[in-house]
Amino acid sequence: MATKISIQGVTKVYDTGMMALDKVSLDIEDGTFISLLGPSGCGKSTLLNMIAGFVEKSAGRVMLDGQEIRGPGAARGVVFQEYALFPWMTALENIAFGGLLKRMPRQARLGKARHYLDLVGLGPHADKFPSEMSGGMKQRIAIARVLANDPSILLMDEPFGALDAHTREVMQEELLSIWERDRKTVVFVTHSVSEAVFLSDRVVLMGANPGHVREVFDVDLPHPRNRNTDAFIALERRIHAMMRSVPETVA
């Protein structure tokens, strides 16, 4: 499988002198679902934002399809924990906004928006405003808006972190359904071991002070995944054990 994203010896030092990342290297294959897992302050979001082109590295290289990333691009769609919907726009208008920026004809962009609204199961709610939606509905709209721009890479920074436990599990299943249909490359930031194991092909466990890759776990479990199987629970325990162990010293 071809490498889609290559992170090569990346270091990030902020103006304050704080080192957020130290010599991080990671290859992400095309069409795979990768989770970045670890404690607060380990640089998960910083790394994600480097892939997005929002944050400059201090050293190393971040490559996309063999070309160095030097800023944001349409091939990379980003979903944040905050829904960031326009409150004066309906669900349909929010999803169609990218098409408006691209100067697509009105009927074409609305038709595309309706397709993705149906894809996330919210077709009957096209005319609702964000103030009339639940948290889960808003996040579905945020995901549909990104998908409507047809990125090859989906970057997600704890998108379900603010949702209740039941809605979070429903959204995980929705996301997997979309991923299995389109096979986009997904990089997903989370604090939850269970969420990472449920969703991912690989779980990248990061350590802090400064941020670095501690271990990469391959998740060789078939979809749909059952959180109650022995294999699922065993992998969760392995990752939890690694998280609780004393981190190695970063050279």
* pLDDT of amino acid 249: 46
Residue count of the chain, please give it: 251
Inform me whether the pLDDT recorded for 23 exceeds 80.
yes
Question: Which one-letter DSSP state was computed for residue 227?
Answer: T
C-alpha to C-alpha distance for 55 and 72, rounded to whole angstroms: 9
Q: What tens digit of pLDDT does each residue of 171-180 get? A: 898 889 889 8
Cα angle vertex 75, ends 69, 79, to 5°? 100
Q: How far apart are CA 148 and CA 130, in angstroms?
A: 18
Q: Write out pLDDT tens, residues 101-127.
A: 777 888 888 888 998 898 888 899 999
In CATH terms, the fold of domain 1-75+187-251 is: Rossmann fold (3.40.50)
Instruction: Answer for the pair 35, 204: CB distance below 8 angstroms, yes or no.
Output: yes
